[in-house]
Amino acid sequence: MNYHWNWGIFFETSPDGVHTYLETLLLGTGWTLATALSAWCLALVMGSLVGVIRTTPNPWLVRLGNAYVELFRNIPLLVQMFLWYFVLPELLPTAAGDWLKQLPDASFYTAVVSLGFYTSARVAEQVRAGILSLARGQGWAALALGLTRTQAYLYVLLPMAYRVILPPLTSEFLNIIKNSAVALTIGLMELTARARAMQEFTFQVFEAFTAATVIYIVINIVVTFGMRWIERRTSVPGFIGAAPAAAATH
């Protein structure tokens, strides 16, 4: 092999003149985490809403929820990002479109919105499966006690459903971190984009990608253990939830 290894490259100053290459990678990690966490909040809220309306008795709400899930699940994430980034500003009234395009960090906001909606469809599937996995008597008992349907969901069904679906939600959270790398196509300087930039400036391909890979693995391990800790902390004694079966992912 005629490849020249140079692991010292991480401590050399990057073209921005201030940070070393290692620091630029860590800054990228920050963007990756910021994007993934913000998008995760959006995904949880939208996914829970859509998941819940798919379990209501109203057939039109169920159809609406199904359509939402199918729409966001059957278009590749990259295409969805392009739609939000390139197409949406053109379809809005001119003033609003121009405002969107001139927004500082536009690629960050776009990445958060597209990742959030894309993942929300998957979260909705899990939330629905979680609610349906509960004994049907629980919902009826809540209604019989005089709770409204909203209260029954908020105090009885959702708290148990979230515990049941914690393991699949963990893998969705890991997915959203990994999927945030797609945002490099709309110019977000997250971890993979920084590694790519480092490779372009220094030609040290394998060092740059090895560093990014190691950082992703560390994030993965930390999240996995963190979620296991949450799982233990939130588990209800005597209640063993059957997690929904494994499905095709990422």
Partner 1 sequence: MFADFDFDVIIRSLPYLFYDGMTFTLMLTALATCGGIIFGTLLAMMRLSGAAPLSLLAAGYVNLMRSVPLVLVIFWFYFLVPFIGQWVTGASQPIQVGAFASSLVTFTLFEAAYFAEIMRAGIQSIPRGQVGAAQALGMTYLQTMGYIVLPQAFRNMLPVLLTQTIVLFQDTSLVYVLSITDFLGAASKVAQRDGRLVEMYLFAALVYFVISFVASLLVRGLQRRVAIIR
Q: Which parts of this chain interact with partner 1 (CB under 8 A)?
A: 1-3, 70-71, 73-80, 82-83, 86-87, 90-91, 174, 178-182, 184-185, 192, 195-196, 199, 205-206, 209, 212-213, 216-217, 220, 246-250
Supply the angle between the helices 106-133 and 94-102 in degrees, to the nearest 10.
100
By beta-carbon proximity to partner 1, the closer residue of 122 and 152 is: 122
Residue 18 CA to residue 124 CA, distance in Å, equals 44
Are the C-beta atoms of 46 and 71 separated by less than 8 Å?
no
Q: Where are the beta strands (DSSP E) in the chain?
A: none
Residue 216 CA to residue 207 CA, distance in Å, equals 14
Residue 177 Cβ vs partner 1, minimum distance, rounded to whole Å: 8
Give the CA-trace dihedral at 103, 108, 109, 113, to 10 degrees: 150
Residue 203 main-chain phi, psi, to 5 deg: 65, 10
Nearest to 247 by CA among 116, 122, 127: 122
Residue 114 Cβ vs partner 1, minimum distance, rounded to whole Å: 12
By beta-carbon proximity to partner 1, the closer residue of 92 and 230 is: 92
Residue 105 Cβ vs partner 1, minimum distance, rounded to whole Å: 20
By beta-carbon proximity to partner 1, the closer residue of 61 and 78 is: 78
DSSP letters, 207-237, are: HHHHHHHHHHHHHHHHHHHHHHHHHHHHPPT
By beta-carbon proximity to partner 1, the closer residue of 206 and 225 is: 206
Residue 219 Cβ vs partner 1, minimum distance, rounded to whole Å: 8
In this structure, which amino acid lies at residue 203?
F
Residue 10 Cβ vs partner 1, minimum distance, rounded to whole Å: 17
Question: How many other C-beta atoms can be found within 10 angstroms of the C-beta atom of residue 233?
Answer: 7
Residue 108 Cβ vs partner 1, minimum distance, rounded to whole Å: 17
Centroid of chain to Cα 240: 27
By beta-carbon proximity to partner 1, the closer residue of 13 and 249 is: 249
By beta-carbon proximity to partner 1, the closer residue of 152 and 182 is: 182
By beta-carbon proximity to partner 1, the closer residue of 87 and 145 is: 87
Residue with tokens 């609406």: 64
In this structure, which amino acid lies at residue 193?
A
Residue 151 Cβ vs partner 1, minimum distance, rounded to whole Å: 34
Centroid of chain to Cα 18: 31
